[in-house]
Chain A
């Protein structure tokens, strides 16, 4: 039902325009989401960003959204529809919208496109933006390394894309640094949002003796299972505190609002141009949720210090010496990873078991 709403709204708007000539045409901003806005994870936070835009600009901006849009041809159709209905700026908020976004951008040169987590900017009207989630992963990896008693940390991964692999590597490096015996058990579920499957993956990991779970999927299902089974987990994309009052140790929260407001302002000012943004803890695009009381004070202090040193730029989450999984040298002592390598990361670091599926 909700998915139809923007189309109806568009139709109503089109009829309205034929009637009265409008002096102040509000800027039209469209958003497309891969999950429902009520997923309490990834899409929920993007929608919070949209609401912040509405509140910040008031009548000057009008927003629409379409939720639960599958990655692929459907996304192209939805964005085309948005562009035809007069959207001036479109945020496409999932990695799999990359090719559709560039395809639609080619056909609508006057519409600006902002694609989250991708790297293709084929046309001058496409920008990309993402957050350095791996900085947050470093912090929660540290907590996980301290908190696991079985030395087995479970990781529910979505798709084998660089962003997810980067997160696994960062979490592992920092968990292993504080707990040399730690082992990561990684399960690929090949979906961003499927609560039943995410819950089942969590159960499968717990059966293997995992007592801390991290996830790179969008729903709080794994948190619910962790709460039920009496183990620990971290909020992903959103805080998820209400789903695991005792299970939740901390969380990585995506805060898109400042970026969405800044980019909308740029279109209003006529200063918008194609950019590539990759912000982390420092500007606040990645936030670390409150650390739970179940975490001992010294662990909390260590995690907070790590977060602060990343924020100040003093420490990079990928600092050598680091080897690739096969034992070859990736980063020498003191060397830090360059963004190019990180953006295309397709290998595990040394110590992680298993292969990345392709």
Chain B
């Protein structure tokens, strides 16, 4: 086994690329869950974002417009879930699952004419001097804009939740919707906005797959990434900085094991692929063990129905 064959700089840059779709979807879902809504339709919103972004980028010739379209597409789809669960008070679990099925079917339908087409090329950042720095240049300054946007979103989410009134309101709605309602906050409206934010983020994650990482449209191409994003939120115990860690860990292990294999290392692939999920289970156990002192990490109103009685 010759590990020197793996270029650490290339490895780190690929981990960032591989993890970005997960990071987008997970940070969005985290905000949704912070507001007390469990949307299991991440996979469906991602795949709709993947085709919406792809189709719009192909038609407009611009990757940027494609990503905007993906965010809008994901948000619109999430609004279907939002209206069902917040206005018509449907149970969130089946509504989320239905959203995934609906998204997979809808994307396959929209995607029919787009198979085998090449999307417009995306450009990577090229800052004079900085991009040419050894080691730091490739890691920090040579990515496509979406990698930076995903990192910015995590930072912004962390800041908003921790340091702003908006963040307090979102958390209040998620922890105790009755109390938030009594204080005069519009629970349903706030949750709908959070759901749409989650949909837009999932859409961006999906479009990152179809426009940059693969780049092509294939039916069902998210292949379970949305479910991993849901696992990351739990792994992160609903904290933005840990979402970043989780996304890079889940993506990183995948990227690392493929490179170890390509370099000829004899590694137990199946155990390495399994490890992020085992860590998630361990985290869940730790969270529930901690229950007695610090309370649970999950928002108290997560997944509960809210009906304003007065």
Query: CB-defined interface of B14-55 with A at 8 Å, one 1/0 digit per residue?
Result: 100010010000000000000000000000000000000000
List of B residues within 8 angstroms of A2 by Cβ = 104-105, 108
Q: Is A117 an interface residue (CB 8 A)?
A: no
Contact B270 A190 (CB under 8 A): yes
Q: Is A263 an interface residue (CB 8 A)?
A: no
Q: Is B264 an interface residue (CB 8 A)?
A: yes
Q: Which residue of A lies closest to B111 (CB)?
A: A38
Q: Which residue of A lies closest to B105 (CB)?
A: A1
Q: Is A316 an interface residue (CB 8 A)?
A: no
Q: Which residue of B lies closest to A209 (CB)?
A: B5
Known: A196-B223, A221-B214, A228-B215. A190 touches B116 (CB 8 A): no
State which size class the interface on B falls in.
Answer: 35 or more
Q: Is A31 an interface residue (CB 8 A)?
A: no
List of B residues within 8 angstroms of A40 by Cβ = 115-116, 218
Q: How far is the CA of A93 from the CA of B273 in the complex (A)?
A: 26
Known: A187-B262, A203-B14, A207-B7. A196 touches B225 (CB 8 A): yes
* Interface 9-mer from A161-169, A305-313, A350-358: A350-358
Cβ 8 A contact of A208, one of B219, B263, B268: B263
List of A residues within 8 angstroms of B7 by Cβ = 207
A148 to chain B, nearest CB (A): 15
Q: Is A204 an interface residue (CB 8 A)?
A: yes
Contact A196 B261 (CB under 8 A): no
Cβ 8 A contact of A195, one of B101, B105, B223: B223
List of A residues within 8 angstroms of B10 by Cβ = 207
Of B104, B105, B215, B258, most buried by chain A (CB within 10 Å of CB) is B258
Q: Is A18 an interface residue (CB 8 A)?
A: no
Contact B220 A68 (CB under 8 A): yes
Q: Is B213 an interface residue (CB 8 A)?
A: yes
Q: Is A4 an interface residue (CB 8 A)?
A: yes
Q: Is A120 an interface residue (CB 8 A)?
A: no
List of A residues within 8 angstroms of B209 by Cβ = 195-196
Contact A243 B216 (CB under 8 A): yes
Contact A224 B258 (CB under 8 A): no
> Within B192-247, which residues are at the interface with A (CB < 8 Å)?
209, 213-216, 218-225
Contact B220 A205 (CB under 8 A): no
Q: Which residue of A lies closest to B220 (CB)?
A: A36
Contact B218 A1 (CB under 8 A): no
Q: Is B106 an interface residue (CB 8 A)?
A: yes
List of B residues within 8 angstroms of A39 by Cβ = 218-220
Contact B261 A224 (CB under 8 A): no
Cβ 8 A contact of A187, one of B216, B261, B273: B261
Contact B223 A188 (CB under 8 A): no
Of A35, A36, A190, most buried by chain B (CB within 10 Å of CB) is A36
A3 to chain B, nearest CB (A): 7
B50 to chain A, nearest CB (A): 10
Main secondary structure of the interface of B (DSSP, over half): helix
Query: CB-defined interface of B82-106 with A at 8 Å, one 1/0 digit per residue?
Result: 0000000000000000000110111
Contact A224 B219 (CB under 8 A): no
Known: A200-B14, A353-B264. A38 touches B258 (CB 8 A): no
Q: Which residue of B lies closest to A222 (CB)?
A: B214
> Within A194-212, which residues are at the interface with B (CB < 8 Å)?
194-197, 199-201, 203-205, 207-208, 210
Q: Which residue of A lies closest to B221 (CB)?
A: A195
Q: Is A324 an interface residue (CB 8 A)?
A: no
Query: CB-defined interface of A64-106 with B at 8 Å, one 1/0 digit per residue?
Result: 0000100000000000000000000000000000000000000
Contact A3 B215 (CB under 8 A): no
Q: Which residue of B lies closest to A353 (CB)?
A: B264
Q: How far is the CA of A42 from the CA of B6 in the complex (A)?
A: 32
Contact A204 B219 (CB under 8 A): no
List of B residues within 8 angstroms of A205 by Cβ = 262
Q: Is B181 an interface residue (CB 8 A)?
A: no
List of A residues within 8 angstroms of B223 by Cβ = 191, 193-197
A205 to chain B, nearest CB (A): 5
List of A residues within 8 angstroms of B258 by Cβ = 187, 189, 197, 200-201, 204
Q: How far is the CA of A190 from the CA of B253 in the complex (A)?
A: 14
Q: Is B304 an interface residue (CB 8 A)?
A: no
Contact B262 A185 (CB under 8 A): yes
Q: How far is the CA of A189 from the CA of B221 in the complex (A)?
A: 15
> Within A232-261, which residues are at the interface with B (CB < 8 Å)?
242-243
A129 to chain B, nearest CB (A): 25
Q: Is B254 an interface residue (CB 8 A)?
A: yes
List of A residues within 8 angstroms of B213 by Cβ = 196, 199-200
Contact sample, A vs B, 9 pairs, CB 8 Å cutoff: A38-B218, A40-B218, A190-B273, A197-B258, A200-B14, A200-B213, A207-B262, A221-B218, A224-B215
Which B residues fall within an 8 A CB radius of A?
Answer: 5-7, 10, 14, 18, 21, 101-102, 104-106, 108-109, 111-112, 115-118, 209, 213-216, 218-225, 254-255, 258-259, 261-264, 266, 268-270, 273
Q: Given A3-B104, A210-B262, output 19 extra A-B contacts at Cβ < 8 Å.
A: A4-B101, A4-B105, A37-B219, A38-B218, A40-B116, A40-B218, A185-B264, A194-B224, A195-B218, A196-B21, A196-B214, A200-B18, A200-B255, A207-B262, A208-B262, A208-B263, A227-B118, A243-B116, A355-B266
